[in-house]
């Protein structure tokens, strides 16, 4: 028996899925405390779950000492941070102070500087090692599953990986004119940043969404996909130094892009405070307040996501290609957890990461991204807990075919 106590911080879309999936495995997730900033959301979630081993609390995780107090009181084995990237460091500090392990799904980003890098969290490595605790960074889908896919391919199918393309398609339709699939503030900050990819040892910057390619997604078909920077590229090129080029592609509908352009042009996506009726407000935070909650998009969401990695390299001296992917249905995700596939594809891996930690399968002091951990048990659990994957070897890669 592996029984454990988990503190989940954040009761949004992803938190909802993590809690639902943990509730399905009470033999591992013995006691769970869900804590978030707005207690009404925690209460609503607890009501939906209706499980005696799930409890709720209020916490402002920007304040490390509040998290420390909560941890001291509840004594979890691991803290699952599915609040926002801004809270990563205060929560990591609280874990360090209390000697408890940590898991998140997105890397730290300062609120006033939209800039993704693992640097800030990698800086905790020695302190976590000394304290004998573990941090599992970016255990969602991308980052997360995409790195496990690469590690799995590297372990079983390649001697050397040379080219990596992560391809992320959401072919769903939520029926709203404009909405984001995860936290609007984080999503818009990510999409409006410069693109960046890695080639021959260098990072190449591109204007936001200026490089486009039509990619054929399994079960979906051709979709316009845009080159973006994504955090897992940073750790993947570090951990697989044979990679010559690494890129990340994501689909956006024309309507989303047009609406986003208008919002940008009129200043609604800005993070610089403006005066409004004597108050300082941040336009992007105001925009978040009026956009639909991503967790509430599920009810009418039709269609599916398809996210995968496409790799080219060498095996036994011969050229090899490999495509590993998962398709996830918005409708099925909604039926199971009451929310949509983007939350589902993020929440399931976070639950699995915490499960493997509690089982002692992924348990070692230090700070790790997923490609540094044994991919086999994780890949097995993806099949078991709702994100089955497909693999194709030595076929032309969709990303390389000119459309
Ligand atoms: P939501 O906005 O739906 O939920 C965030 C939750 O965190 C809310 O309940 C919010 O509370 C709470 N929160 C925010 N600030 C604090 C704070 N200071 N203290 C305590 N709780 C706080 O976001 P998502 O569920 O969509 O995203 C959760 C995380 O998952 C994000 O970090 C996101 O970047 C990441 N993500 C990762 C993906 C991946 O594949 N790796 C994909 C999608 C998302 P309140 O209700 O008060 O705002």
CATH code of the domain covering residue 62: 3.40.50.720
Looking at the structure, do residues 241 and 350 belong to the same domain, yes or no? no
Ligand 1 center–CA 187 separation, angstroms: 11
Which residue owns the Cα nearest ligand 1 atom 1?
12
User: Which of 21, 33, 37 for mutating ligand 1's site (highest number of atoms within 8 Å of CB)?
Assistant: 37
What is the number of the ligand 1 atom nearest to the C-alpha of 142? 40
Element (H, E) at 195: strand 195-199
Largest CA distance in the chain: 68
Provide the pLDDT for residue 71: 98
Looking at the structure, do residues 328 and 225 belong to the same domain, yes or no? yes
Pocket of ligand 1 (CB under 6 A): 9-15, 36-38, 41, 59-62, 82-85, 87, 105-106, 138, 140-144, 182-183, 186, 294-295, 342, 346
State how far the Cα of 395 lies from the Cα of 365, in Å rounded to an integer.
Answer: 39
57, 34 Cβ separation under 8 angstroms: yes
Structural domains counted in the chain: 2
Would you state the structure tokens that stand for residue 1, as one six-digit string?
Answer: 């028996």
**202-206 vs 195-199, strand pairing mode:** antiparallel
Ligand 1 center–CA 85 separation, angstroms: 8
Looking at the structure, do residues 41 and 190 belong to the same domain, yes or no? no
Ligand 1 center–CA 347 separation, angstroms: 11
What is the number of the ligand 1 atom nearest to the C-alpha of 13? 25
Looking at the structure, do residues 210 and 315 belong to the same domain, yes or no? yes
User: Which of 82, 89, 94 for mutating ligand 1's site (highest number of atoms within 8 Å of CB)?
Assistant: 82
Which residue owns the Cα nearest ligand 1 atom 44?
182
Looking at the structure, do residues 10 and 86 belong to the same domain, yes or no? yes
Helices (H), ranges, 75-124: 88-98, 119-122
Per-residue pLDDT of the chain (403 residues; tens, 9 = 90+): 567 999 999 999 999 999 999 999 999 999 999 999 999 999 999 999 999 999 999 999 999 999 999 999 999 999 999 999 999 999 999 999 999 999 999 999 988 887 889 999 999 999 999 999 999 999 999 999 999 999 999 999 999 999 999 999 999 999 999 999 888 888 888 888 999 999 999 999 999 999 999 999 999 999 999 999 999 999 999 999 999 999 999 999 999 999 999 999 999 999 999 999 999 999 999 999 999 988 788 888 999 999 999 999 999 999 999 999 999 999 999 999 999 999 999 999 999 999 999 999 999 999 999 999 999 999 999 999 999 999 999 999 999 997 6
Ligand 1 center–CA 138 separation, angstroms: 13
Looking at the structure, do residues 133 and 154 belong to the same domain, yes or no? no
Looking at the structure, do residues 155 and 295 belong to the same domain, yes or no? yes
Looking at the structure, do residues 162 and 282 belong to the same domain, yes or no? yes
Looking at the structure, do residues 259 and 193 belong to the same domain, yes or no? yes
Provide the pLDDT for residue 325: 98
What is the number of the ligand 1 atom nearest to the C-alpha of 345? 40
Q: Distances from the Cα of 153 to the Cαs of 146, 284, 320, 387, 388, in angstroms?
A: 11, 39, 11, 17, 16
Element (H, E) at 379: helix 375-384
Under DSSP, the state recorded for 194 is P
Ligand 1 center–CA 80 separation, angstroms: 11
Looking at the structure, do residues 114 and 155 belong to the same domain, yes or no? no
Ligand 1 center–CA 151 separation, angstroms: 27
Other beta carbons within 10 Å of 34: 28
Containing domain of residue 167, as a range? Answer: 145-336+388-400
- Domain of 307, CATH number, reads 3.30.360.10
Provide the pLDDT for residue 2: 64
Looking at the structure, do residues 111 and 205 belong to the same domain, yes or no? no
User: Which of 8, 18, 21, 36 for mutating ligand 1's site (highest number of atoms within 8 Å of CB)?
Assistant: 36
Ligand 1 center–CA 150 separation, angstroms: 26
Ligand 1 center–CA 249 separation, angstroms: 23
What is the number of the ligand 1 atom nearest to the C-alpha of 38? 47
Provide the pLDDT for residue 1: 55
Looking at the structure, do residues 290 and 332 belong to the same domain, yes or no? yes
């Amino acid at each position: 028996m592996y029984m454990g106590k988990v503190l989940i911080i954040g009761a949004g879309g992803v938190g909802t899925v993590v809690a639902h999936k943990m509730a399905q495995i009470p033999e591992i997730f013995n006691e769970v405390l869900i804590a978030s900033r707005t207690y009404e959301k925690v209460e609503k979630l607890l009501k939906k779950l209706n499980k005696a081993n799930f409890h709720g609390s209020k916490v402002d995780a920007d304040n490390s000492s509040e998290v420390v107090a909560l941890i001291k009181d509840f004594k979890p084995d691991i803290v699952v941070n599915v609040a926002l990237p801004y809270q990563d460091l205060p929560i990591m500090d609280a874990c360090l102070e209390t000697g408890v392990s940590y898991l998140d799904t997105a890397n730290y980003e300062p609120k006033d500087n939209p800039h993704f890098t693992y640097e800030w969290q990698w800086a905790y490595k020695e302190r976590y090692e000394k304290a004998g605790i573990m941090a599992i960074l970016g255990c969602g889908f991308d980052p997360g599953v995409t790195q496990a896919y690469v590690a799995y391919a590297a372990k079983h199918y390649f001697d050397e990986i040379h080219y990596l393309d992560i391809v992320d398609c959401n072919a769903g339709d939520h029926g709203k004119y404009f909405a984001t699939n995860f936290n609007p503030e984080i999503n818009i900050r990510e999409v409006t940043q410069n693109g960046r990819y890695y080639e021959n040892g260098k990072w190449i910057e591109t204007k936001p969404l200026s490089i486009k390619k039509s990619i054929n997604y399994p079960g979906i078909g051709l979709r316009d996909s845009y080159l973006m920077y994504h955090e897992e590229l940073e750790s993947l090129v570090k951990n697989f130094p044979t990679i010559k080029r690494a890129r990340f592609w994501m689909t956006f509908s024309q309507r989303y892009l047009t609406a986003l352009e208008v919002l940008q042009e009129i200043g609604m996506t800005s993070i610089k405070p403006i005066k409004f009726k004597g108050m300082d407000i941040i336009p992007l935070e105001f925009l978040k307040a009026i956009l639909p909650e991503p967790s509430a998009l599920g009810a009418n969401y039709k269609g599916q996501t398809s996210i995968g990695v496409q790799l080219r390299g060498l095996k036994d001296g011969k050229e090899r290609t490999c495509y590993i992917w998962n398709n996830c249905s918005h409708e099925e995700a909604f039926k199971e957890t009451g929310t949509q596939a983007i939350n589902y594809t993020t929440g399931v891996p976070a639950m699995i990461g915490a499960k493997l930690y509690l089982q002692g399968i992924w348990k070692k002091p230090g700070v790790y991204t997923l490609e540094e951990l044994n991919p086999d048990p994780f890949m097995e659990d993806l099949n078991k807990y709702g994100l089955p994957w497909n693999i194709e070897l030595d076929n032309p890669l969709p990303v390389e075919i000119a459309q």
